[in-house]
Amino acid sequence: GENVEQHPSTLSVQEGDSAVIKCTYSDSASNYFPWYKQELGKRPQLIIDIRSNVGEKKDQRIAVTLNKTAKHFSLHITETQPEDSAVYFCAASLSSGNTGKLIFGQGTTLQVKP
């Protein structure tokens, strides 16, 4: 079945360093790839997303890259700050056209040390 694998499961960086989280997906028909940030006890919040017709997207300190051929996509956070500490989830759409139906990765716990 469809699957999204996310690595690493935990990531610890010093404030100001960069953080990279990687995901692979199995369904070649997936065409939408969002990233969510979930702070402890709070709702997942969409931080950035990318569609399959785009290779890279940037929004201030965060960027996402997509390699459709390899079925890989990654989240890059530059100049990390303590408030970036949270669990990050990648997701892929459940085949093309199935809006709102996502397969999530297992999550990466990011800790930014001051």
By CB under 8 A, name the binding residues for other proteins.
1, 4, 6, 32, 34, 36, 42-46, 49, 51, 89, 91, 93-94, 98-107
Distance of CA 39 to the CA centre of its chain: 14
Task: Give the Cα separation of 73 and 49 in Å (integer).
Answer: 11
Nearest to 54 by CA among 23, 37, 32: 32
Q: Which two tokens stand for residue 66?
A: 């997509």
Position of tokens 């997936």? 30
Nearer to other proteins, 18 or 106 (CB): 106
Nearer to other proteins, 39 or 79 (CB): 39
DSSP-assigned letter for residue 105:
-
What's the closest the beta carbon of residue 27 comes to other proteins, in angstroms?
Answer: 13
DSSP-assigned letter for residue 83:
G
Nearer to other proteins, 77 or 90 (CB): 90
What's the closest the beta carbon of residue 43 comes to other proteins, in angstroms?
Answer: 4
Nearer to other proteins, 6 or 80 (CB): 6
What's the closest the beta carbon of residue 24 comes to other proteins, in angstroms?
Answer: 14
